């Protein structure tokens, strides 16, 4: 193990250094105006991270949408990762995950048509098209766009995961960082996500010291709140389990295509159910052979008291998958998640600071 780590360091660390120099040069070009940022009349809220996946970006985007949608006519734009289309695509009731990406599809199912949702690789073009289609939009949330610096944000919200914070990580490909931890200097708000239920005051202090934010930057700590089990296929579930149902003797096949399924697995195991994890890559598109494998693993579980449980993000892909076995439709459920702040008073404070930062950026402009 030690030898393989040493070999990895020898091979990848030099590449990480070159990659880091390239990212630093790119950022300098933006700072000195050699690469241009486009500023829009409507405020832009950027939500992102500086690591590769697993920070809980989509639930935080949904939290921001819920916080702002009563006060603003919102548009939400992302690139639509792993979609089968290209260019600008506006979400409609006829859209499928393969048209706009699973995360945008999930957001549209929850908030459309009250919120305009679209995808586009080129965020500048995407924003322009959204404003042409719906001139009433007076704020846009850019999903996963912290590195997309061609758009000048009114406020940047950056996420870092509690179990793998930016100050304990390294640049790609040796680590998971898209750019160095110094990039946090561009953030207005930093959120430490997926905090455990038993986080200690000392850990808060360690994060504050290690992140070493500027006085104008605000730091928050969040965690997940899990909702009730929901059938993926509404018409096929005669009985809906609850977390209390997952007691000793119950077998669960946990199917995930997310970057970090460990917090979800811990939640499902809290009542000592036997949980078998069947893990796929993040944003995985389930093939016919994948679903046949899921069916075999489910049938191999002992006893009759057994379920398939998946994440909300995976549920939208399974629901629209023509290969999903009919025999399993009554047995598969997802658990919606919401963001809550570790300190209760931070819920209102987060929204207040977010809106104040937006107003201040407008006044400064």
Return phi, psi of residue 314, to 5°: -70, -30
The pLDDT of residue 314 is: 94
Is the model's pLDDT at 163 over the cut of 60?
yes
The Cα 84–Cα 107 span in angstroms is 18
pLDDT tens sequence across 222-248: 999 999 999 999 876 677 889 999 999
The pLDDT of residue 283 is: 87
Mean pLDDT in the chain? 93
Mean pLDDT, to the nearest integer, of 181-188? 96
In this structure, of 8-12, 194-198, 227-231, 298-302, the range with the lowest mean pLDDT score is 8-12
Mean pLDDT, to the nearest integer, of 5-13? 79
35-72+138-225+342-364 has which fold?
A: Rossmann fold (3.40.50)
Mean pLDDT, to the nearest integer, of 154-178? 95
The pLDDT of residue 364 is: 53
**H or E element that contains 42:** none
The pLDDT of residue 61 is: 97
Helix axes 57-68, 346-364, angle to 10 degrees: 70
Mean pLDDT, to the nearest integer, of 204-211? 97
Is the model's pLDDT at 1 over the cut of 90?
no
The pLDDT of residue 238 is: 72
Is the model's pLDDT at 137 over the cut of 90?
yes
pLDDT tens sequence across 279-327: 999 889 899 999 999 999 999 999 889 999 999 999 999 998 999 999 9
In this structure, of 93-107, 138-152, 236-250, 300-314, the range with the lowest mean pLDDT score is 236-250
Do domains 35-72+138-225+342-364 and 228-335 share one topology? The answer is yes
Share of the chain above pLDDT 90, in %: 84
User: Tokens 């399993």 belong to which residue?
Assistant: 328
| pTM given for the model | 0.93
The Cα 354–Cα 193 span in angstroms is 17
The pLDDT of residue 236 is: 67
Q: Which residues contact 54 (CB under 8 A, 6 or more apart)?
A: 161, 164, 176, 258, 259, 260, 282
The Cα 206–Cα 204 span in angstroms is 6
pLDDT tens sequence across 41-68: 999 999 999 998 889 999 999 999 999 9
pLDDT tens sequence across 242-287: 999 999 999 999 999 988 898 899 999 988 999 999 999 988 989 9
Show me where the domains of the chain are located.
35-72+138-225+342-364, 228-335
Q: Is 168 exposed, middle or buried (0-12, 13-18, 19+ CB in 10 A)?
A: exposed
The Cα 365–Cα 358 span in angstroms is 11
Q: Which CATH number fits domain 228-335: 3.90.660, 3.30.930, 3.40.50, 3.30.70?
A: 3.40.50
pLDDT tens sequence across 330-360: 999 999 999 999 998 898 899 999 999 999 8
Helix axes 102-111, 57-68, angle to 10 degrees: 30
User: Tokens 């049938």 belong to which residue?
Assistant: 299
């Amino acid at each position: 193990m030690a030898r393989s780590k040493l070999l990895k360091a020898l091979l990848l660390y030099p590449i990480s250094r070159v990659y880091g120099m390239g990212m630093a040069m790119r950022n300098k070009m933006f700072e000195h105006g050699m690469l241009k940022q486009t500023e829009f009349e409507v405020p832009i809220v950027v939500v992102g991270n500086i690591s590769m996946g697993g920070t809980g970006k989509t639930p935080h985007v949904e939290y921001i949408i819920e916080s702002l949608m009563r006060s603003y006519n919102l548009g939400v734009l992302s690139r639509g990762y792993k979609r089968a289309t290209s260019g600008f695509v506006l979400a409609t009731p006829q859209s499928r995950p393969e048209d706009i990406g699973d995360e945008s599809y999930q957001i549209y199912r929850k908030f459309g048509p009250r919120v305009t949702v679209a995808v586009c690789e080129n965020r500048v073009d995407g924003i322009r098209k959204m404003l042409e289609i719906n001139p009433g939009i007076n704020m846009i949330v850019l999903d996963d766009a912290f590195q997309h610096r061609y758009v000048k944000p009114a406020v940047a919200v950056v996420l870092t995961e509690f179990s793998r914070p930016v100050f304990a990580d390294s640049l790609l490909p040796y680590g998971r960082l898209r750019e160095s931890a110094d990039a946090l200097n561009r953030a207005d708000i930093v959120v430490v996500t997926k905090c455990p239920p038993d986080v200690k005051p000392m850990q808060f202090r360690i994060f504050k010291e290690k992140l070493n934010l500027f006085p104008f930057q605000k730091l928050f700590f969040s965690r997940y709140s899990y909702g009730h089990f929901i059938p993926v296929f509404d018409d096929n579930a005669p009985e809906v389990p609850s977390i209390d149902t997952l007691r000793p003797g119950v077998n669960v096949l946990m199917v995930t295509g997310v970057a970090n399924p460990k917090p979800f697995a811990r939640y499902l195991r809290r009542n000592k159910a036997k949980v078998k994890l069947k893990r796929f890559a993040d944003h995985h598109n389930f093939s016919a052979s994948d679903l046949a494998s899921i069916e075999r693993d489910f049938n191999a579980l002992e006893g009759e008291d057994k379920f398939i449980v998946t994440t909300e993000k995976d549920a939208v892909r399974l629901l629209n998958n023509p290969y999903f076995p009919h025999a399993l439709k009554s047995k598969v459920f997802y658990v919606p998640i919401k963001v809550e702040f570790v300190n209760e008073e931070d819920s209102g404070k987060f929204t207040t600071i977010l809106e104040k930062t937006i107003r201040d950026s407008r006044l400064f402009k």
